[in-house]
Structures are given as structure tokens and as C-alpha cells.
Structure 1
Amino acid sequence: MPTFTQADGADGIDGAAAERLATEQDHIVECLINLEEHLGRRLLDATMVAGVTLERRAKVLDDFATLWARYESYRIVAVEVRTIMARSPVTQADLREVRELVTRAAELAGAIQTIYGRIHEVVVATDEVWTVMASRIDVCDTLLDQAHTLVANLSLAAGQDSAAGVVTELADRFNHLRRIALADPLRFWAHGAVAVDEVDQLIAQCEQVRADLQTLAELRQHGPRLLDELNATLIEVRRLEEQISAERRRVNVKILAAPVMEEGAQSMDLLGPRLATALELYRCEHWRQLASDLPVLERDAQAARKRAQAELIETGRPLRQRAELRGRLSAYRAKAAGLGRIEDLALEQRYQRARTLLWRAPCDLAVAAAAVAQYQDAVNAMAAEEHSP
């Protein structure tokens, strides 16, 4: 806010007093005109206001009338000073009168500054509130438009979907807030700043519901692909479980007392109906329920695939153990041949016993492993004899 000061004290009268008063007068009138043209003042004049703003505007109008009246008095004083100081010669009586006029001008300048400050505070606050609130109202309006469009595209009804009801509620709150912001902006002015907590909270809630609806819209758009991928996962699970069943049967036939014996529950028996339900939810456009069920079903399908992959590996473990024993037996048979002991009767009997156990169905892995170990030990003992001095 500009400061209006009297250039001359009562004891400092000289020939330039009139010029200094004229300069001060020009400064004052320029400030008053700028205040009249301030955007906040124009907004107050051009808008139907109510409440706190209506009361403050009435006070501003009264203050403007008083302000211009004080300025007019100041102007008259300045003219009188110029008239007196233009006399020739200027008498002591003239100087005493000028001193009184200068004192009066200083009092008027102080009053003008006080009134100016009150008006300036109101018009600046009005401009600031409208500026700050307008940008936030635009953001909120855009978010609600997007939310309404999503609700319409998703064919959601307020009584059927929570988000649709929330959008309606938020729109009512927004319209109420916008009416207040336009009609009574100074209601949002507190402690020298715009009170934005309420509108910012509304924006956050609009963003949240818009994001929620956007998730449903993306599900509507990408649902066929997601359901196809889920179906492909379940087909893979079915294939793995069929392989597990086939492998289990092989193990039960070929391995005696295999640890994997019983058929487990088929994941497809549980997941298949849930996929059918998800497909029906998509067909019936029950987006909210589908958004809730589909991620869980996808997670369960992935878990079922991992379990099936691990179970397939575990189911075939006895056959891999038998294959490893067969490979070890063949390797030590070759080692015995390299030692020239292939014709050794006792060693050959151990080999034939281990081989018979490994190629018998069902194979007793524990007994076969012991027989292979005995043959291996015998071959290693012969090798040690070959290298002993």
C-alpha cells in the first residue's frame, strides 16, 4: 500500500511548499484511480454478492465515497496553499495561514491512507479468493465431468454402484461450493490468506472417485484380453495337472512305495467355475464385482500354475533317482572293465543284482541304491588295489 506523507512540517514552510503539495496530490489521485480500477473492485461491482462479501462491499462503497471526499478536501487545501504562496509579497499572516493549511493537509493525508488501507485489503482479498478458487473450481469441474462421463460409459446407476452415488454427492457439494465462491468469496478469506481446505478436500475426493471409475473403465476395455490370458493360464494348469497324473501313474507302476501316491485335488475343479463366473460378470457388465474378483482369480491361477510346476517336478523325482542310479551303475561297470575286472565273478554278481533291482518294476529304490553302493565300493576297492605298491 502506498504511503501518503506531507512533505512540509508546520515549521518548514518555504516557497516550494505549494509544489510539494501538488506533487503529493498527484500521487494520491493516481493511487485512488488505481484502486478504483483494481480487478477486485471491478469484480465486487459486477457480481451479485451475498453474505460477508455483501457487507464488506457496502463498507467499501461508503469508504470510497469518504475517500474521495477527503481527497477533495486535500485538493482544496493544496489549491489554497498555491494561491497564498503565489502572492507577492507573502506576509507573516499568509505564512501562518499556510502552516495551518499544511497541518490540515497532513491530517487529511493520514485519513486518506487509513481509508485506502481498508479498501485495499478488501479488493485484494476479493481478487485473491476469486483467482485461487477459480483455478480449483476448474480442476474440480473437470474431474467431475470426467467422472460423469465414466459413469455414463459404464452404465452405472447411483443405486447400484457406490462410485456413481459418490459422484452425485460430490457434484452437489461442488455446485454448493461454487455458488458460495462466486457469490460470497470473502467467506473464504481468513487470517490474510485464502481458506482452501474445503475445496482441496473436495478435489482429492473427486480425484479418488475418478481414479476408481477409470479402473473400471480400463477393466471394461481390457477385460477380454485379461480373461483370455486367465483362460490360457488355466489351460496350462490343466495340462500340468494331467502331466502330474500321468507321471504319478508311471511312478506308482515303476517305483515301489513311491512317496507320491495319491491324486490331489484338481485346481481346475475350483478355478474353472470361478472363470466362468468372471466371464458372466463381464457379459452382464458387473464391473465392480469383476474388479473385485478378477485380481484374486488371477493371483490364484498364477499360484496354481506354480504349485503344479513344482508338483510335477516332485512327482517325477523317484524316476529321476532311478535314472541317476542306473547311470552310476553303468559308469562303474565301465570303470570295472577298464580295470580288467569285468570277468570277476563276485563283482559281476553284485552288478547283476543291482541291475536286476533297478530294471525291476516296481523298483525298490532303497534296496537298489544299497546294491549300487555295494558295487561301487567293490569297484573302488579294486581300483585301490591296482594303485597300491
Structure 2
Amino acid sequence: MSAEGVDHALRGRREERDRISDGVLDLDAHTIVRLLQTAPLRGATARRWDQVRGRVALLWALLDAYRAVVEEAERIRGTHRRLGADELAELTWLLAGPAVRLTPDTGPVERRRLLGPGEQRFTLDEAVAAMELAFHDVTGLVAEVDAAWNAALPRLDAAAAQAGAARRFLHELGEGDPDLDVCEREIERVREELRHDPLGDGGRDLERVAADTSRLHERARRAAEVRRAYGRRREALRSLLGRVAAAEQESLRARDLVVAKIASPALPALPGRASALNERLAALDAPSSASSASSAGPAEAAVPEGGARGPDAIGDPGGHGGGGWLERADLLAALERAAEEALLQSERATASLRELIERRDELRGRLEAFRARAVRLGLAEDPALARAHLRARDLLWTAPCDLRKATEAVNGYQRAIQGAAG
């Protein structure tokens, strides 16, 4: 290597050393690396760190050895204004030869067996390549841990915030929820697990905890909402149950009509749930009413619903053992769903029953249309057509009507007209 080559190579190695040093120092100061070095790790994260920790030691050992070679080259070049053959040979060996020495006791234990009992030598390029591999291994673990924490901790914080909001709703209701107590403990347990083992199974636990917290928050929010608007919700439900009762009565009338008008009809099942649903509505207030009546004075007990306390004021069930607003909100929601379902079933049953009458009326209309066509074609006095028309008419205007036979008779009359006209 010439003097110019030595100077060029040395400048490059100085810049390379500074960049590598900065990168290794930044890695060593990284928050996650510090936590991995100091935190009591557990599980999968502890196992991964045990594997990677040796790579950190190797990285520092190689960097120290690399610096020593470059500093020695700088020293020689700095003490000789003009380089002789001996200096050029020594600098060439330092900058291009296997001058980087890694002794067994400076490397990690797991590498000493691989490297053998003696020292290992690298060129500067080989040392850089080995440092790059070790750096990649360490940063890979750092990236995994960082990704795990970034994915989990915000969701855990969100779950904790939801639990806090649910707790405020419960305070408004004057109630407690053992399930929420368990959920809050689980949030802290998962947080502790993620702190010590971010690569472990805490993420799967987080899915369950987040779902449970969301459910409990929604339940508490709904209960608070029900408490604030209970009077209106109850009256709306009472009105809905009135519609259910009316719809069921309409289904009964339609059924009676069909039984009288249609022979052997395939009748849909009629729900008949209005009475039971009204009993559930009455039972919705029973525990709180008994509790309120036993604890209130005569004047308070005499306040009518919708009176001075407002249209939503009712006895608060939160202070007795018969269940609180959480339970009442669940019962109210279930009753509303049941009422909507009962109304829909009754309306569908009525529509199905009416279709049978409509089918008979449609056949009557078709028969008259075919009769008008026969008249236009001059076939009204045809004896066979007249008998076919009379048979179909007798079937359609006789109660109860056999729809299957009537349909066959109308279709037969149509075919007879087509045959006679052809």
C-alpha cells in the first residue's frame, strides 16, 4: 500500500469508526436496551435476551479491538512525516491485514467454545461485518419488544380508561360490579406481565381483558342511560306491548277468518306472548317499588309517577338486595327485544294468514278474467267450458274453499279455453 493509499484508507477508517461508535452508543443508550439490561425479565423475553446479551458483549469487544487498531495506525502515521518501507508495511498490515484481535475472555461465554482456546483475528472489514451482524441481532430484539409494547400498551391504557369510565357510571348508579373489580385486577396483571415479558402471552390475555372491559363499560353506560330515561323507556315499552297485544288479536281474527273460509289451511304458529310480556314489565319495578314503599314516608310514597319528581323518577333499586340498575337495564333491554320480536312474529303470522285469503281472491279474479275472454271468443255457450267454469266457481265461492282443488280447476278452465280457441 502506498503512502497515498494509507492516508486514504486511514481517513475512511476514522469516519467508519466514528459512525460505528455513534451507532453502538445510541444502541446502548436506547430505553429498551436499558430496560432489557436492568429489568427482571421473564418467559420468552428472558430467553431471547439471554441469547442476544452475548451479541451485545461481542459488539463492544469488537468495537474496542477495532478502535485499538485504528488508533495504532493513527499513532504511527502521526509520528512519521515521511513513511518509510517499514512504516508502510506495518500500516498496510494494520489497515488491510488481520490486525483486529479478539481474545477468548473478551467475548461471550457461548462464543469461546466456537472460537477455540486461542485468540481470533479479523481484518477491519471482517470486524465491521461481524459488528453489523451482532448489531442486527440486538436491534432485531429491540424492534420486537418495541413493537409488542407499542401494540399492547395503548390498548391496555384504553382498557384502563374504559374501566375508569365504567367505575364512574357505577358511582352514579350507587352500585358496584364484582366483574369490573376482577377486570381491573386483570388489567394490572397484564400490564405487569407485559412489563417483564412483552414477547410472552400477555397479548392474548389483553384481547380477552379488552373485550371484557368494553362489555362491562357498555353495560354500566347503558344502565346509567336507562336510569336517566327509565320513565320514557318504560312508557315506550308499554306502548309497544299494546301494539303486540293488538297485533296478536289481529292474528287471531285472521286465523278465525281463514279457518272459516279456507279448507285445511296450513296455519302459522301464533305467538300469544303479550300477556307474559306484560307480566315481565310489571315485575321490572316490583323489587324497587317494595323497597321504596318500605323506606319512604307517606308523603313521598304518594308522589304519582310523572309528578313533581319528573317523568323518569322511580324508586332506585340500587339500595336493596333485589338487584340494581345493572340488572334492571339488562332486563329492560331483553324485554324490549322480546317485544319487538313478538310484534314481528305476529305481523308475519297475520300476513301469512291473509295471503291465503288473497290467494283465493286472486283465483276468483283470474276465473272471471278467463270467463270474459271466453265471451270475447264466442265460447261462452260451449257446454264443456260452461261445466269447467261452474266447477271452478263452485269451489271458489264455497266456504271453506279448497285452494288446491280450486287452483287446479281454474288452471283447467284456462287450458280448456286455449284448446277451444286453437
| Structure 1 residues 271-310: aligned runs within 5 Å | 271-280=277-286, 283=315, 284=317, 285=325, 286-287=327-328, 288-300=330-342
Instruction: Decide whether the 8 Å contact of 1:40 with 1:125 is kept in 2.
Output: no
User: Alpha-carbon deviations, 1:66-113, whole Å to 9, x = none?
Assistant: 2552243133233145337x542x333333212221212534434443
| Partner in structure 2 of residue 140 of structure 1 | 159
For residues 143 and 210 of structure 1, what CA distance do their matches in structure 2 show? 6
| Structure 1 residues 1-389: aligned runs within 5 Å | 12-38=1-27, 41-45=30-34, 49-52=39-42, 56=50, 59=54, 62-63=57-58, 65-80=60-75, 82-83=77-78, 86-88=80-82, 90-102=83-95, 103=97, 104=99, 106-107=123-124, 108-158=127-177, 164-165=178-179, 167-182=180-195, 184=196, 187-189=197-199, 196-235=203-242, 269-280=275-286, 283=315, 284=317, 285=325, 286-287=327-328, 288-300=330-342
Instruction: Decide whether the 8 Å contact of 1:35 with 1:120 is kept in 2.
Output: no
The count of residues paired between Structure 1 and Structure 2 equals 281
Q: Structure 1 counterpart of 2:155, which letter?
A: R
TM-score normalized with structure 1 length: 0.54
Instruction: Quickly say closer, same or farther: Cα 1:87–1:307, change in 2 above 3 A.
Output: closer
Q: Which runs of 5+ in 2 are unaligned?
A: 101-122, 254-259, 262-270, 289-314, 318-324, 358-396, 399-422
Instruction: Quickly say closer, same or farther: Cα 1:38–1:149, change in 2 above 3 A.
Output: farther
Q: Structure 2 counterpart of 1:176, which letter?
A: R
Superposed displacement of residue 38, structure 1: 4.5
Tell me the SS of whatever aligns to 1:16.
helix
For residues 242 and 200 of structure 1, what CA distance do their matches in structure 2 show? 48
User: Alpha-carbon deviations, 1:91-150, whole Å to 9, x = none?
Assistant: 333332122212125344344434433443344444333333332322222233233334
Tell me the SS of whatever aligns to 1:50.
coil
Q: Percent identity?
A: 13
Q: Which runs of 5+ in 1 are unaligned?
A: 1-11, 159-163, 248-257, 260-264, 318-364, 367-389
Instruction: Decide whether the 8 Å contact of 1:143 with 1:206 is kept in 2.
Output: yes
Q: Structure 1 counterpart of 2:41, which letter?
A: G
Larger of the two Rg values belongs to structure: 1
Superposed displacement of residue 175, structure 1: 1.0
For residues 248 and 147 of structure 2, what CA distance do their matches in structure 1 show? 69
Identify which range, 75-84 or 90-99, moves more after superposition. Answer: 75-84
Instruction: Decide whether the 8 Å contact of 1:271 with 1:301 is kept in 2.
Output: no
Structure 1 outlier segments of 4+, above 6 Å? 237-245, 265-268, 304-311
For residues 10 and 28 of structure 2, what CA distance do their matches in structure 1 show? 29
Instruction: Quickly say closer, same or farther: Cα 1:74–1:64, change in 2 above 3 A.
Output: same
User: Alpha-carbon deviations, 1:12-32, whole Å to 9, x = none?
Assistant: 555132333333332332333
Q: Structure 1 counterpart of 2:167, which letter?
A: H
User: Alpha-carbon deviations, 1:290-334, whole Å to 9, x = none?
Assistant: 3333421454366668889999x9xxx9xxxxxxxxxxxxxxxxx
For residues 15 and 174 of structure 2, what CA distance do their matches in structure 1 show? 66
Instruction: Quickly say closer, same or farther: Cα 1:70–1:129, change in 2 above 3 A.
Output: farther
Instruction: Quickly say closer, same or farther: Cα 1:113–1:195, change in 2 above 3 A.
Output: farther
Instruction: Decide whether the 8 Å contact of 1:219 with 1:291 is kept in 2.
Output: no
Superposed displacement of residue 178, structure 1: 0.9
For residues 176 and 152 of structure 2, what CA distance do their matches in structure 1 show? 31
For residues 122 and 237 of structure 1, what CA distance do their matches in structure 2 show? 63
